[in-house]
Amino acid sequence: MATFNSTTFGAISGRHGSAVAATTKDGRSILKVFRAPGNPNTDKQQAQRTKFGFANSELSCMRNLFKITFMSANGMQQGVSLAMKNAVSGEAPDFAIDYSQLTLSVGSVDSAGLVSAIKTTGTKVKIDWDTTIGTNSTEKDGINIVFFNPTDRISVLKQNHAFRSAGTAEVELPEIWAGSEIHCWIYFSTPTDSLNSVSKYVGLVQL
């Protein structure tokens, strides 16, 4: 890239032969070699755009959930980005969401080791988790439980449903979900709700 001061012609901009001229914020005029952009429609790029469109469409029903679990107005973008990396399986056009690899929250708070979910009675689900206290966890951390019905595309979030120290919690889900398969995740929050843990997939429960 060449830099020059033009006292004769003043500010220079635009393309000049094989170079492009522009004026910087500090008033300098610069020339740099023009390079045509690469083909934006390669097979790989098209497949990536198709994958991105699929992830956005499939996870659109979680938009409001992601805003809460990622603690950001841009939660949808974060959720889709992580899904693209870890949870979208298959090849175009036959993509699918692997919900066991879907991340619903991130953060430095310790997650749980062993977790399990079982149906008890009716549409009640019992969640059990390891109560081990680590470097980045306390007994008063709140447990957040997320349930997702992939058929109805509806999620239920139970925020701060119990303390980490409880080790168990029971949640009654909508009666209309009876007979459905429900995905379940948990994540922890500090007592001030300022930090979360990475979410942990608990399993698929048949109601």
pLDDT tens track for 11-50 = 555 666 666 666 676 667 676 666 666 666 776 787 788 9
Q: Report percent pLDDT > 70 for the chain.
A: 81
Strand stretches in the chain, DSSP E? 2-4, 14-16, 19-23, 29-33, 88-91, 94-97, 115-119, 124-129, 142-149, 154-163, 168-172, 181-189, 200-206
CATH of domain 107-207: 2.60.40.10
* pLDDT tens per residue across span 163-200: 999 999 999 999 999 999 999 999 999 999 999 999 99
Under 8 Å between Cβ of 197 and 105: yes
pTM check: above 0.85: no
Q: What's the confidence (pLDDT) of residue 11?
A: 58
Write down the domain spans for the chain: 2-33, 39-103, 107-207
